[in-house]
Structure 1
Amino acid sequence: MIITNTVNLDQNNLIYLYCLTASPYVQINLTEDLNIYSIESNRLFITVKNVSENEFSEDNIKKNLSNEAWLDKQVRDHISVIGKIMETETVLPFNFGTIYKSEESLKQFVDKYHVDFFKTLKYLENKEEWSVKIYCDKIKIIENISILSKNISDIESQIISSSPGKSYILGKKKNEIIAKEINDIYNSCSRQIFTKLKTVGEEYRLNTLLSNDVSGRDEDMIVNATFLIKNENIENLENISDQLIIEYKNIGLILELTGPWPPYTFIKLTN
């Protein structure tokens, strides 16, 4: 069932934006009724819902952002709706909490940038955004450092054949260079992994590394990248990822591939 803009707005309603497509919103299966519909402007369709000023006025949304339970539910709903639409449509996603006060102002915005929107939709057609994160387990690499690092292996050989005094000095030297060796190993392996993944991508972006608190993991993040992949190459991406996970598991590298995600990273607008 296709839903067009048949909802009457009253003065207390704001317009919450999900995404922009080249086709009108089609009813999707959601866990709850969010009263979603589409607004047409210049042959483009904006998937929206009406929201209350009590929650989404500029002042109230700032207050609600500190409410963890409210924020978690709203963000999950936002991503879920866009994800469902992505199953059948190419989308330009809006950020969570993008609000317009009137249909008129929304249409003015779309009309102003409709050429860029069409170009970007065309560019993103039959492509998906995937995330690749690489974490390092330093405990595991330290356990295998003498196998992975020739410098460490050489020092350990010298320690075994040296006098107690020299062994002590070499032991201190070994401890001093372990951190550098670990970083060198991870940098080298990360480059190798990244090079293999790039072979199936149209574009990529390197993103800011997330702290342990944000990632929710004990292991340190050493790569945070996003790839734009043609649909025909998704299976290749997953196969390469599976191979890399096995290949680098024993040295403490953990590769996490997730997607598809709304293509925020690769939206190209001239303005």
Structure 2
Amino acid sequence: MTERGPEHSDANATYVFAVCWKPEPSALVGLRGVTDEAPVSVLPLETLTAIVQTVRARDFTDEAWQARLSDQRELERYARAHHDVVSAAAACCPTVPLPMATLYHGEQRARDALTGEADRFHTALQRIAHHAEWGVKVYAPPCPPDDSTRSATSAGPSRPAPGAGLAYLERKRGVQERRERSQDEALRVAESVDAEVRLLATASRRLRPHGPQLSGERRIQVLNATYLVAEHRADELTLLAQSLRERTGVQIELSGPWVPYSFVGEV
């Protein structure tokens, strides 16, 4: 749905943050949005409402946006501003977030394009009404240490005892087998955690687990999933997560509630 605005310096474009039903006007007061030059406002769409802001088109050309993508600090600022507006709208009514930098050549173009998607928006809004998104991450226990190298080092420069090479290989094989058993058990637990949380959730999505290089930790992530959960079951989910931690003994992280970004693009 995104259009890039005309590039001449005095042209404006309409930036669309989200589509919802009837937001409270007070929910948008004081929001900065992605620019200081115009307030965040509403755009009526017959039976829907878009949350919009007038921006300078030249700030959102392909070249300008590519430059912004290469500036981590600037990109984070835009992402945070976009999310703040979406969250404010979602706090007062069901809201479908639109991707960052969704723009049209003026309000009428935005109104025409978004109204043409009204059925899809209504379906998504009905699905997520009175729901929130929750994340669940499960981590495998730390790998058992490999004592073979330390043992060899502590032995000093003296000649190895007979059979030392075979013993070293056996120790290495034992460490690898323990690691594999630990990983297999963690994966089995992750599947059982996902199965129990799915029974409570309205919908779920499995995401690619983050590697240690992303988390900055030695822990290995074996489940990275997100769930659409009814608001009245939030406490039940919290209790279930605690129960699963106690029953399985693994590290389980529960995060949320969030705006259900992951569940509005499937309709």
Do both share a fold (TM > 0.5)?
yes
Shift of 1:190: 0.9
Which residue in the other structure is 1:190 paired with? 190
Q: TM-score, normalised by structure 2?
A: 0.78
Change (3 A) 1:218 1:124: same
CA contact (8 A) 1:24 1:40 kept: no
Task: Give, in whole Å, the separation in 1 of the partners of 2:199 and 2:90.
Answer: 24
Partner of 1:256: 253
1:99-248 equivalent positions in 2, closer than 5 A: 99-139=103-143, 142=144, 168=167, 170-248=170-248
SS in 1 for 2:117: helix
CA separation in 1, counterparts of 2:251 and 2:30? 33
Once the two structures are overlaid, the 10-residue window that deviates more, 224-233 or 75-84, is: 75-84
Change in 2 beyond 3 A, CA 1:68/1:187: same
Residue identity (%): 18
Q: 1:102 to 1:178 in 2, by over 3 A?
A: same
C-alpha distance in structure 2 between counterparts of 1:120 and 1:65, whole Å: 29
Q: CA deviation at 1:240?
A: 1.3
SS in 2 for 1:106: helix
CA distance in 2, matches of 1:86, 1:125: 10
Aligned residue pairs total: 236
Alpha-carbon displacement from aligned partner over 1:132-153 (angstroms, at most 9, x marks no partner) = 12223424xx27xxxxxxxxxx
Matched position secondary structure for 1:28:
helix
Unaligned segments of structure 1, at least 5 residues: 1-9, 144-163
Q: Cα 1:136–1:93, aligned 2, differ >3 Å: closer, same or farther?
A: same
Equivalent residue, structure 1, for 2:4 = none
Query: How much has 1:15 moved relative to structure 2?
Result: 1.5
Question: Residue 36 of structure 1: which of 16, 36, 40 is its match?
Answer: 40
User: TM-score with structure 1 length normalisation?
Assistant: 0.77
Q: Work out which of the residue numbers 247, 259, 264 in structure 2 matches 1:267.
A: 264
Instruction: Give the superposition deviation at 1:199.
Output: 2.4
Please give the root-mean-square deviation of Cα atoms over the aligned residues, in Å. 2.6
- SS of residue paired to 2:26: coil
For structure 2, the residue ranges without an aligned partner over 5 or more in a row are 1-8, 34-38, 146-162
